[in-house]
């Protein structure tokens, strides 16, 4: 028998009405408690989160937010202007724009990359590759130092992530005329060569910085604060006279072309201050487009050395006069125009016979200079040359300046002493030679050459003023009828100077290439200017009196006029050419050298 369960019958009242089951009472207080607990927990969570955001991790989240919109950007400053001594600008900085991009942002718009590449003037595939290679960065230069209008044309495209910033580009109004002195700056406007490098800290200034807010396209929408005050570069006034610089450049270049020479240099100094008024070289280059052969960029006047040849004879004669063994009128026999010494034959270009010491300079006698030197101690000759600055840097401060070479006196044999006496066996720069002649011109006082106008430049006495004056007077005979440098004459002015011709040294000896030199002082009676001209490997004639001396004459004629220097030889002056027995009168044409005439040349060993 199966047992089954049945639900209990509903309860009824006595009248038969059904009785509803009793509903348990609702716990309203408990429900409210639960709600309040939930709200409390939520509030606590919000408070904790707010504290975390506003207090605990405030710096982190601020940094993250700033990283997306706040940027610190540089405030570019202009490099100082370089002026010549008369206030003419030689180097100026002009504002330009550089276009940059956030690679990641630009890559999010691949369809616009060809458009951007066309505006930049580059290949689209190359641009995309460049962006991909640097997509982990937020800043990448696309093109630098653009004309502001060209940069604006790129920005007008409205490509997100592309922007521009102000920069400065150096411009040199004088072009190749002043290139070797000034040097150049790089794309960041920092000095790389020349005086731009020497005075970079002075000229460069200090860029500033500011914080800005940028939108998602990289455009600045608000300046927030100044982080660092910008400090513009300071101006620099040089001793260079732009007008004389141009004269030297023009006439040196003309001589290089006329004589088919390889290269050349010229330096012009103020004899009383040591200020460099001009320094030029050939070949030159355009610093506004400096993609030139490195050989063209070298400032040969301070970096290249030469054997100075006969331009060293005045210092040998100064040693001789200082010794008391010789006077300007002491005779010396140079017959027969050659001198055999230690198996080496020293030659003059002709047999000058019996000369005075002054005549040794006038006719540039190697034999006479060698015989005089053999009467002098090695130490005395070395000391004289060293006092005039040979064998050490001039102290001009120009980058890469060579100290030249003056061998120690203890290494000299009789042959070395003789050859040093007429300018072989030592090396000098064009600037060193100019410094030494400036010391002669300034009464035996040596100054460091300087490129800066008006700096204090004390002199060091190296020889007695009267001795210096005597040497200058002796050198006047070189630039007069009978001397080797008549073509160095300057109308209406007395000139003192010395020619030099040397062979170019190669490993193991000398080659059949020559260096033509002239060093001069003008006006000789009251020296104001000193100039040295050095020309390498001229073709045809190669003597200093025919190649370099005319350059001196042309440049000094213009420079003395520009500086308004009073003439000191109005009545009688020599315009160049052979000895005709009488001064050439103003306005007349100087006769040319007669064919085969060697009386105004000098021997080259």
Reduced to 3 states (helix: H, G, I; strand: E, B; else coil), residue 504 is strand
Q: Which two tokens stand for residue 465?
A: 């003023």
Q: Which two tokens stand for residue 408?
A: 């120690």
* Kind plus residue range of the DSSP H or E element containing 152: helix 148-155
Chain-centroid distance, C-alpha 477: 38
Which CATH architecture is the domain 242-284+299-562 placed in? 3-Layer(aba) Sandwich (3.40)
The percentage of the chain sitting over the pLDDT mark of 70, rounded to a whole number, equals 82
DSSP single-letter state for residue 570 = S
CA atoms of 543 and 338, how far apart (whole Å):
19
CA atoms of 230 and 248, how far apart (whole Å):
39
pLDDT at 78: 87
Contact 359, 369 (CB under 8 A): no
Is there a catalytic annotation at residue 310? yes
Contact 287, 176 (CB under 8 A): yes
* CA-to-CA separations, 363 to 346, 355, 474, 539, in angstroms, rounded: 15, 9, 11, 23
Residues in Cβ contact with 216 at an 8 Å cutoff, skipping those fewer than 6 apart: 105, 160
Report the C-alpha dihedral over residues 102, 103, 108, 113, rounded to 10 degrees: 110
Chain-centroid distance, C-alpha 85: 17
Burial class of residue 111 in the structure, from the number of CB atoms within 10 Å of its CB (0-12 exposed, 13-18 middle, 19+ buried)? exposed
- In 178-293, the DSSP E strands lie at 208-214, 220-228, 236-237, 263-270, 276-282
Buried b (16+ CB within 10 A) or exposed e, 112-122: bbeebbebbee
Mean pLDDT of the chain: 86
* pLDDT tens digits along 87-99: 999 999 999 988 9
pLDDT at 401: 96
Confidence of residue 583 (pLDDT cuts 50, 70, 90): very low
* pLDDT tens digits along 154-165: 888 888 888 888
CA atoms of 195 and 245, how far apart (whole Å):
15
Average pLDDT over residues 592-604: 48
Question: What does the H/E/C string look like for 445-496?
Answer: EECCCECECCCCCCCEECCCHHHHHHHHHHHHHHHCCCCCCHHHCECCECCE
Q: Measure CA of the first residue to CA of the last residue in the chain; give whole Å.
A: 153
Count of C-beta atoms within a 10 Å radius of residue 260: 10
* CA-to-CA separations, 210 to 112, 148, 205, 223, 230, in angstroms, rounded: 31, 22, 17, 7, 10
CA atoms of 555 and 550, how far apart (whole Å):
9
Count of C-beta atoms within a 10 Å radius of residue 586: 12
Residues in Cβ contact with 565 at an 8 Å cutoff, skipping those fewer than 6 apart: 493, 523, 528, 529
* pLDDT tens digits along 175-219: 999 999 999 999 888 999 999 999 999 999 887 776 666 655 555
What values do phi and psi take at 187, rounded to 5? -65, -20
- In 76-179, the DSSP E strands lie at 82-83, 89-101, 140-146, 162-171
Residue of 93, 98, 163, 310 with catalytic role:
310
pLDDT at 576: 44
* pLDDT tens digits along 345-383: 999 999 999 999 999 999 999 999 999 999 999 999 999
- In 315-374, the DSSP E strands lie at 331-333, 338-341, 344-347, 354-356
Range with the poorest average pLDDT among 1-5, 39-43, 449-453: 1-5
Contact 437, 471 (CB under 8 A): no
Q: Which two tokens stand for residue 333?
A: 């026999």
- In 321-379, the DSSP E strands lie at 331-333, 338-341, 344-347, 354-356
Q: Which two tokens stand for residue 342?
A: 């230690």
Count of C-beta atoms within a 10 Å radius of residue 79: 26
Q: Which residue is it, tokens 């520009």?
A: 562
Task: Name the residue ranges covered by the structural domains of the chain.
Answer: 72-119+126-237, 242-284+299-562
Confidence of residue 302 (pLDDT cuts 50, 70, 90): very high
Residues in Cβ contact with 273 at an 8 Å cutoff, skipping those fewer than 6 apart: 239, 447, 450, 457
**Quick check: bond before 519 cis, omega within 30?**
no
* pLDDT tens digits along 388-419: 999 999 999 999 999 999 999 999 999 999 99
* pLDDT tens digits along 216-245: 555 555 555 666 777 889 999 999 999 999
Contact 337, 352 (CB under 8 A): yes
With CA atoms as reference, report the closest residue to 436 among 311, 249, 278: 311
Burial class of residue 558 in the structure, from the number of CB atoms within 10 Å of its CB (0-12 exposed, 13-18 middle, 19+ buried)? middle
Task: Answer whether residue 594 shows pLDDT above 60.
Answer: no
Please tell me the class of the 72-119+126-237 domain.
alpha beta
């Amino acid at each position: 028998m199966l047992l089954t369960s049945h639900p209990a019958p509903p309860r009824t009242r006595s009248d038969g009405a059904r009785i509803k089951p009793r509903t348990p009472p609702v716990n309203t207080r408990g429900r409210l408690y639960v709600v309040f607990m939930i709200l409390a927990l939520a509030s606590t969570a919000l408070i904790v989160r707010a504290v975390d955001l506003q207090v605990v991790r405030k710096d982190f989240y601020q940094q993250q937010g700033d990283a997306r919109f706040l940027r610190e950007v540089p405030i570019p400053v202009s490099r100082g202007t370089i002026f010549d001594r008369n206030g003419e600008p030689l180097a100026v900085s002009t504002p330009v724009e550089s276009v940059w991009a956030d690679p990641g942002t630009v890559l999010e718009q691949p369809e616009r990359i060809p458009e951007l590449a066309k505006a930049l003037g580059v290949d689209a595939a190359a641009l995309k590759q460049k962006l991909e290679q640097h997509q982990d960065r937020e800043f990448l230069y696309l093109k630098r130092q653009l004309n502001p209008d060209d940069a604006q044309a790129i920005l007008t495209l409205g490509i997100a992530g592309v922007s521009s910033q102000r920069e400065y580009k150096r411009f040199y109004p004088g072009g190749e005329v002043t290139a070797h002195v000034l040097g150049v700056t790089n794309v960041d406007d920092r000095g790389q060569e020349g005086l731009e490098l020497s005075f970079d800290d002075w000229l460069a200034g200090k860029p500033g910085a500011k914080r800005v807010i940028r939108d998602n396209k990289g455009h600045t929408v608000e300046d927030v604060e100044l982080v660092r005050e910008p400090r513009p570069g300071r101006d620099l006034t040089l001793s260079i006279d732009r007008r004389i610089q141009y004269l030297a450049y023009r006439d040196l270049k003309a001589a290089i072309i006329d004589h088919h020479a390889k290269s050349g240099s010229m330096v012009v100094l103020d004899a009383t201050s040591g200020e460099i008024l001009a320094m030029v070289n050939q070949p030159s280059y355009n610093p506004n487009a400096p993609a030139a052969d490195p050989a063209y960029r070298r400032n040969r006047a301070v970096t290249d050395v030469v054997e100075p040849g006969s331009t060293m004879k005045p210092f040998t004669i100064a040693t001789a006069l200082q010794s008391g063994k010789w006077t300007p009128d002491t005779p010396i026999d140079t017959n027969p125009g050659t001198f055999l010494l230690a198996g080496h034959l020293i030659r003059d270009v002709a047999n000058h016979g019996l000369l005075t010491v002054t005549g040794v300079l006038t006719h540039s006698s190697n034999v006479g200079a060698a015989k005089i030197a053999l009467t002098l101690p090695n130490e005395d000759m070395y000391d004289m040359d060293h006092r005039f600055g040979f064998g050490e840097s001039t102290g001009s401060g120009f980058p890469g300046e060579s100290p030249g070479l003056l061998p120690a006196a203890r290494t000299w044999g009789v042959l070395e002493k003789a050859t040093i006496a007429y300018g072989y066996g030592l090396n000098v720069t064009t600037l060193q030679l100019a410094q030494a002649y400036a010391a002669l011109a300034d009464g035996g006082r040596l100054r460091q050459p300087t490129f800066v106008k008006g700096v204090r430049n004390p002199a060091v006495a190296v020889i007695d003023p009267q001795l210096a004056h005597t040497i200058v007077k002796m050198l006047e005979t070189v630039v007069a009828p009978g001397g080797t440098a008549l073509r160095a004459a300057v109308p209406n002015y007395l000139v003192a100077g010395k020619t030099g011709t040397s062979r170019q040294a190669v490993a193991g000896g000398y080659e059949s290439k020559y260096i033509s030199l002239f060093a001069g002082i003008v006006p000789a009676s009251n020296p104001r200017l000193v100039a040295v001209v050095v020309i390498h490997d001229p073709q045809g004639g190669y003597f200093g009196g025919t190649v370099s001396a005319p350059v001196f004459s042309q440049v000094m004629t213009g420079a003395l006029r520009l500086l308004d220097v009073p003439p000191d030889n109005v009545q009688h002056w020599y315009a160049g050419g052979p000895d005709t027995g009488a001064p050439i009168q103003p306005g007349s044409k100087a006769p040319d050298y007669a064919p085969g005439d060697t009386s105004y040349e000098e021997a080259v060993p």
